[in-house]
Amino acid sequence: MALDGRKIAGNASLEQNRDEEWLKEEVGKLLAEALERIEEKKRQAMVNQERMERKLLTKRGREAHKQRGSTIEPVFGQMVMRGLVRFMLRGSNKVRAE
């Protein structure tokens, strides 16, 4: 199996044989692609963070975030205090029954 997950046939012909230099180039390309994907995820995370920071600068955004403290966070805190850190079933109806 290749580094990128592709399966490679074991009966490659002599014309298909590659030298060490080719292999280094291909591995370099794969690493560059992987690094680019990582960098893109970091950029996207920064965009999301900046968007949230801008939203919190508005009056409407601050009000919405303040409301979270009185609606969602206490529920999670109560669940943890009761020892319910994980549900065994999936789906809101099954979780309610659990």
7 neighbors 1 (Cβ within 8 angstroms):
yes
Between 12 and 84, name the one with better pLDDT. Answer: 84
pLDDT at 28: 94
Q: Are 56 and 62 in contact (CB under 8 A)?
A: yes
Give the pLDDT of residue 35.
Answer: 94
pLDDT at 22: 86
Q: Which amino acid is at 23?
A: L
pLDDT at 2: 63
Question: Residue 59: its pLDDT value, please?
Answer: 93
Look at residue 32 in the predicted model and tell me its pLDDT: 95
Reported as a single tens digit per residue, the pLDDT across 13-54 is 666 677 888 889 999 999 999 999 999 998 888 888 898 899
CA dist., res. 47 & res. 79, Å (int): 32
- The distance of Cα 46 from the centroid of its chain, to the nearest Å, equals 13
Q: Is the pTM of this model over 0.85?
A: no
